[in-house]
Structure 1
């Protein structure tokens, strides 16, 4: 077999590798000396199988003359020049080549480089070595398979391993490296002028003050029959102008005498904002009111909202308006119903209620025009057929979005977030708007912590009171703050005009985001008229997993979401949920035929007769008519199971407050010193006060190493809430019940939410968010109202009076 010799100049010597095929015969080191005839061999050291020996210089010359080819790899320039002069002096032909430096130095292997060479540490290496180096670093950082493949693609595109490793170390942020893809803006289309629309003159004049032309999705809706009264399902990305589609139909129908506009949204925060927006139509004679189940907890003077059902526009949450239907309230003549975020039919806890609400509205107002709005769904055609609507499916955005991916360790996150927020705020769009950022994280604790770590930012989550959230909305709207840090749970909520969206976490609670949720959130980057483009950053933590996360790590989830296909909206509801909707339908229906029609209109329901039979067995329905208990249950959104709980409690002459707690416990209590305890005891303790790790701590761990004050708080907490006779204590639910009763007793005694939180913090080292506590108190008030009504139906007059008395004291 032929022998080839590879030579590479090093400092003071030349590496000589004789190769027979893929086999390296030995490793030689040549030192040269200057002579009158030029460079000549001085010493030739050979290493093989751990042995070293010097050969005569003549042996080297014979080897070189015998070789079929001599390759000179790039090395130390001065030594390389001297070696070339040596070869030429002996009339030995050679060829200069580029070889992989890592193959040579680590494997003593000759790997010629071609166009696939990768730059690394000032030299060039082969793709295989570059891939191995990258894999070594990725393994060190616990990256999953999908993340490794993504980085390999980045490497082969960039051909610079230093840059990719620098990105992993977050030494610098190169947008060309971090950019995953771009969602382009739409191509230029013939704009539809507002002037040409078939609208009443005063409404057209009103719209012309806002815009001269419609956005593409609005134009498509008009072309699809929006102004002719067609029912439409409008699918289009966030911030593409869907809301105006509903408004155009609603205001035209009102001005044409067809009836009022109902505009329904999933969250109170979004309803408040939509109420402010639609209140502008008062200049056209359309007064707006709101139905959101306003808090019953008196906290002093708050913002007043118009709630008149005779208003021409009613903005409401799904439950706020459904409660009117369930109690037989007269909504008057309705010309248009707009259902925003209709994909929430798939939502686990509330989807069945939205499905029932849509059915009851379609049944009650058969001549009304229905407009359904959603950012994206996987099966739009099927959903439009189920809703009885024509489909307007518009995929293209008016503003392009760049999506970037950075794998970030927890210790690096905050510094990275500060850099990204600062960079966005330093830029101004062509329309004069400063860049602003929404940061999504997975917990309220992180919201507060990150907002304190990022200059000129604010937290925004459901644990805050309304006036606190409203203040953040105003500050952001005026560009007085650079960033808002919020939870994924509010992703479908208030509309912040941000240029940039950052995912600090890809989870909602401890569950990974769905593709739909993810796209809904990232779609908030880039607003037409505000920004030239939207920027989205995902910052997954390598190797991070959640209990409910199906074994995937966050870096793997990031790639799945970026490449994911939108999920279908295919509602399937549990028996209890189905029975709740059948009961609510029975309140509206006046005959079996009408109930069957309502059942058919309610997406996600199974057999009517089996559901009806279960309600009859529960004494909630007789024939098809709800009993008095059934009507009370429907009015208060009670499931059949919850009715059983109340009836049992009333039959045993139970305390109404205890019955209310059987229905509604408060579990949003947090251990203030969780991090300190974890460090001190060298065990992971959750910040959630009723988590298993905290229960373990209170029931068996030695607390003597903790600070006296902290130890006293934990012992107080254990003594007050975890002592019971249950076999499974303290995992029996009693701690949650006792804490809930303690909260309600304090409130009934006149304590404000702030004072209740202070009491828990001082005595037990436990805290809660004010907004969460107010929401809980409000929920208990509504439970007591249901208990009060059911007690009257069952002839428990004294219990009804007691429930009313406690309710009024909790209301304040």
Structure 2
């Protein structure tokens, strides 16, 4: 086989590689010298299997004359020019080639690039070497397989390893590199003029004050029978105008005397916003009221809102309206029921209650028009069949969304967020709106930390009081702040008109987001009429995992969410959840036939007979008729298991507060010094004060290594809450119970929520969010109300009186 020679100039010398096929015969290093005849060989050193020796310069010339081809790879310019003059002086034909710089430098291999070069450190390398370099960097950053494949595709698209490595190191951001894909905007259908709609004159005039033509999804709903009373499931992306679909039907039906409008949403924050919006129809003679789980905790302030059930429009949360049905009260003549966010049928904690509510409303108001609203779901046709409606499926966006992916280490996150928020705020849309950002993170602590680190931003989470959240809503709506940092759990809440959405985390608590939740959240980027496009950034942390995350790392989850298809809404509920809904249905039904019909109308229920049997064994129904205990349980949203807890507690002469704590403890207590303790002890201590790692710390000798004040606070906490005598103390649940009882006793003594938090902070170095504590106290009030009623059913009058007294004290 003929020999080929590859040469590459280095500083002061030339590397010579004789090649026979894929085999390198040896490494040679040539030093040239200038002579009157031009460059000539001075020294020629060869290295073969570690054995170094010099050859005569003539030997090199003979080798080159014998070679079937001489290839000159790009190298150090001065030495390369000198070597080419040498070849020309000996009339040795040669050809310049582009080869992989790493192959020749590190592997002594000849890899021609033939148009597939990757730029790297001022030179070019082959795809294999580039992939290996990228793999080493990805391994160093603990990236998962999916993330590595994504970066490999990015590299092949860009063909510049320096750029991809700089992106990983966040040295520079290039939108062409970070961009994962774009969800394009679709051309709108022929607009439907409001003037042509079959609407009462007053409603038409009201709509014309807002717009001259309908948005596509609205027009599609009208063509689908909206204004003729047809029941509809309207599936369309966020900010496409679904709400007006329900309003048009509801107000038309009211004006034609068909009955009132019920507009139901999952969260109090949404209900408050919708109450304000629908109150504008008072000019048409429609009084609006609200029915939500209004806090029972008296704080001496609060917005007064109409709660009269005789109103023509009733805005409510699911539970707020269901409570009316569960207690046998009548909503009057109902013409339209609008259920927003109906995909929450799939939600673990509340899905069964929404299903039960829908069934009870369909049974109680069969003549009403039902409009269900949802963002994209995986099985809209099946869901429409289950709900007994026609489907309006509008799967397009009015503005495009760019989706970007950046793998970011924790230390880089805040600086990156500041930069992205600042860049968005510096942009103005064609309609004159400045860019604003929603940042989703997975905890309230992160909300506060990030909002403090990002200029002109605000935290927004359920731990804040209503007036605090409302202030943030107003500031964002007026564009007085650039960003709001919120939790994923509040993603379905308020309506923030943002141009940009950033995912600081892809988790909700310790569980990864579902594809549906993810798309709901990113859909908030880009509002028609406000922004020309929406921008979404995912900032997954390489290698990060959560206990509930099924072994996936966050970088892998990011790619799964970006490529994922929407999950089907297929409600399946546990036995207790089904029994709760069957019991609530039994309260509404007037006969066995009614109960059977109600059962069929409630999505996700299995065998009626087995649920009734279990309820009868629990003394909650007799046949199909709810007992007094059963009616009390239904009215207070108690599961059969919770009824057992209350009955056992009362039978054991437990105090009402203890029974309430058996039902629900306050666990949202946080250790102020958690980060300092973790740093000092070089171990991870949870910020949750009742976490096992904190319990371990309280009983260890490590306390002596802590700051005296921190040590004193922890010892105070241990002394008051962990000394119980249980064999497995402090992991027996007593600390949770004692802390909850302390909170409730302080409230019963007249302390405000803020003062209770200050008490825990001063004595134990523990804090809580005011909103969380108010929500817990409110829940306890409702629990005590249930305990009071069940105590009366059981004939325990004194216990009922005590429950009432405590309830009133905690209410304030």
Shift of the alpha carbon at 1:31?
Answer: 1.4
Contact 2:673 2:765 in 1 (8 A): yes
- Using the alignment, how far apart are the partners of 2:265 and 2:325 within structure 1? 16
Shift of the alpha carbon at 1:51?
Answer: 1.9
Shift of the alpha carbon at 1:650?
Answer: 1.8
> Which whole-Å deviations, capped at 9, do the CAs of 1:501-549 have from their partners, x for residues lacking one?
0000000000000000000000000000000000000000000000110
- Using the alignment, how far apart are the partners of 2:266 and 2:632 within structure 1? 24
Where does residue 513 of structure 1 map in the other structure? 513
- Using the alignment, how far apart are the partners of 2:529 and 2:162 within structure 1? 40
The answer to whether 1:590 aligns with 2:600 is no
- Using the alignment, how far apart are the partners of 2:679 and 2:72 within structure 1? 58
Secondary structure of the structure 1 residue equivalent to 2:699: helix
Where does residue 279 of structure 1 map in the other structure? 279
Shift of the alpha carbon at 1:287?
Answer: 1.2
> Which whole-Å deviations, capped at 9, do the CAs of 1:702-752 have from their partners, x for residues lacking one?
310111111111011111111112222211211111111100000000000
Where does residue 750 of structure 1 map in the other structure? 750
Secondary structure of the structure 2 residue equivalent to 1:702: helix
Shift of the alpha carbon at 1:301?
Answer: 2.0
- Using the alignment, how far apart are the partners of 1:485 and 1:365 within structure 2? 41
Secondary structure of the structure 1 residue equivalent to 2:138: helix
Secondary structure of the structure 1 residue equivalent to 2:39: strand
Secondary structure of the structure 2 residue equivalent to 1:235: strand
The answer to whether 1:699 aligns with 2:696 is no
Secondary structure of the structure 1 residue equivalent to 2:19: strand
> Which whole-Å deviations, capped at 9, do the CAs of 1:98-121 have from their partners, x for residues lacking one?
010000101111111122100011
After superposition, the CA RMSD in angstroms is 0.8
> Which whole-Å deviations, capped at 9, do the CAs of 1:467-504 have from their partners, x for residues lacking one?
00000000000000000000000001001000000000
Shift of the alpha carbon at 1:215?
Answer: 1.1
The answer to whether 1:27 aligns with 2:27 is yes
Shift of the alpha carbon at 1:34?
Answer: 2.0
Greater alpha carbon shift after TM alignment, 108-117 vs 448-457: 108-117
Secondary structure of the structure 1 residue equivalent to 2:612: helix
The answer to whether 1:645 aligns with 2:648 is no
- Using the alignment, how far apart are the partners of 1:491 and 1:500 within structure 2? 14
Where does residue 422 of structure 2 map in the other structure? 422
Secondary structure of the structure 2 residue equivalent to 1:60: helix
Shift of the alpha carbon at 1:597?
Answer: 0.4
Contact 2:73 2:96 in 1 (8 A): yes
Shift of the alpha carbon at 1:213?
Answer: 1.4
Where does residue 607 of structure 1 map in the other structure? 607
Where does residue 128 of structure 1 map in the other structure? 128
Contact 2:540 2:558 in 1 (8 A): yes
Where does residue 741 of structure 1 map in the other structure? 741
Shift of the alpha carbon at 1:36?
Answer: 2.4
What residue ranges of structure 2 are gaps of 5+ in the alignment? Answer: none
Where does residue 239 of structure 2 map in the other structure? 239
Shift of the alpha carbon at 1:328?
Answer: 1.1
> Which whole-Å deviations, capped at 9, do the CAs of 1:173-197 have from their partners, x for residues lacking one?
1000000000000124211111111
Contact 2:188 2:216 in 1 (8 A): no
Shift of the alpha carbon at 1:653?
Answer: 2.6
Where does residue 151 of structure 2 map in the other structure? 151
Shift of the alpha carbon at 1:37?
Answer: 2.1
- Using the alignment, how far apart are the partners of 1:91 and 1:209 within structure 2? 89
- Using the alignment, how far apart are the partners of 1:5 and 1:547 within structure 2? 58
Shift of the alpha carbon at 1:768?
Answer: 0.4
Where does residue 806 of structure 2 map in the other structure? 806
Where does residue 685 of structure 2 map in the other structure? 685
The answer to whether 1:543 aligns with 2:543 is yes
Contact 2:188 2:398 in 1 (8 A): no
Where does residue 175 of structure 1 map in the other structure? 175
> Which whole-Å deviations, capped at 9, do the CAs of 1:530-571 have from their partners, x for residues lacking one?
000000000000000001101000000000000001111111
Shift of the alpha carbon at 1:413?
Answer: 0.2
Where does residue 393 of structure 1 map in the other structure? 393
Secondary structure of the structure 2 residue equivalent to 1:356: helix
> Which whole-Å deviations, capped at 9, do the CAs of 1:32-77 have from their partners, x for residues lacking one?
2222222211111111111221111110011001101100111122
Secondary structure of the structure 2 residue equivalent to 1:704: helix
Where does residue 250 of structure 2 map in the other structure? 250
> Which whole-Å deviations, capped at 9, do the CAs of 1:574-602 have from their partners, x for residues lacking one?
11111000000000001000000000111
Instruction: Summarize the alignment of residues 35-54 of structure 1 with structure 2, pairs less than 5 Å apart.
Output: 35-54=35-54
- Using the alignment, how far apart are the partners of 1:674 and 1:34 within structure 2? 71
Where does residue 628 of structure 1 map in the other structure? 628
Contact 2:15 2:29 in 1 (8 A): yes
The answer to whether 1:197 aligns with 2:192 is no
Contact 2:615 2:640 in 1 (8 A): yes
Where does residue 504 of structure 1 map in the other structure? 504
- Using the alignment, how far apart are the partners of 1:76 and 1:704 within structure 2? 63
> Which whole-Å deviations, capped at 9, do the CAs of 1:317-358 have from their partners, x for residues lacking one?
000000000011110100110111111111111110000000
Secondary structure of the structure 1 residue equivalent to 2:450: helix
Instruction: Summarize the alignment of residues 218-233 of structure 1 with structure 2, pairs less than 5 Å apart.
Output: 218-233=218-233
Q: How many residues are aligned here?
A: 812
Secondary structure of the structure 2 residue equivalent to 1:497: coil
- Using the alignment, how far apart are the partners of 2:719 and 2:197 within structure 1? 70
Where does residue 767 of structure 1 map in the other structure? 767
Secondary structure of the structure 1 residue equivalent to 2:703: coil
Shift of the alpha carbon at 1:81?
Answer: 1.8
Q: If the length of structure 2 is used for normalisation, what is the TM-score? A: 0.99
Secondary structure of the structure 2 residue equivalent to 1:703: helix
Secondary structure of the structure 2 residue equivalent to 1:306: coil
Instruction: Summarize the alignment of residues 155-554 of structure 1 with structure 2, pairs less than 5 Å apart.
Output: 155-554=155-554
What residue ranges of structure 1 are gaps of 5+ in the alignment? Answer: none
- Using the alignment, how far apart are the partners of 2:365 and 2:332 within structure 1? 10
Greater alpha carbon shift after TM alignment, 641-650 vs 341-350: 641-650
Shift of the alpha carbon at 1:651?
Answer: 2.0
> Which whole-Å deviations, capped at 9, do the CAs of 1:266-294 have from their partners, x for residues lacking one?
11111111111111111111111100111
- Using the alignment, how far apart are the partners of 2:349 and 2:699 within structure 1? 33
Contact 2:291 2:315 in 1 (8 A): yes
Shift of the alpha carbon at 1:698?
Answer: 1.2
- Using the alignment, how far apart are the partners of 1:223 and 1:15 within structure 2? 77
Secondary structure of the structure 2 residue equivalent to 1:484: strand
Shift of the alpha carbon at 1:701?
Answer: 4.0
Shift of the alpha carbon at 1:696?
Answer: 1.0
Shift of the alpha carbon at 1:700?
Answer: 2.8
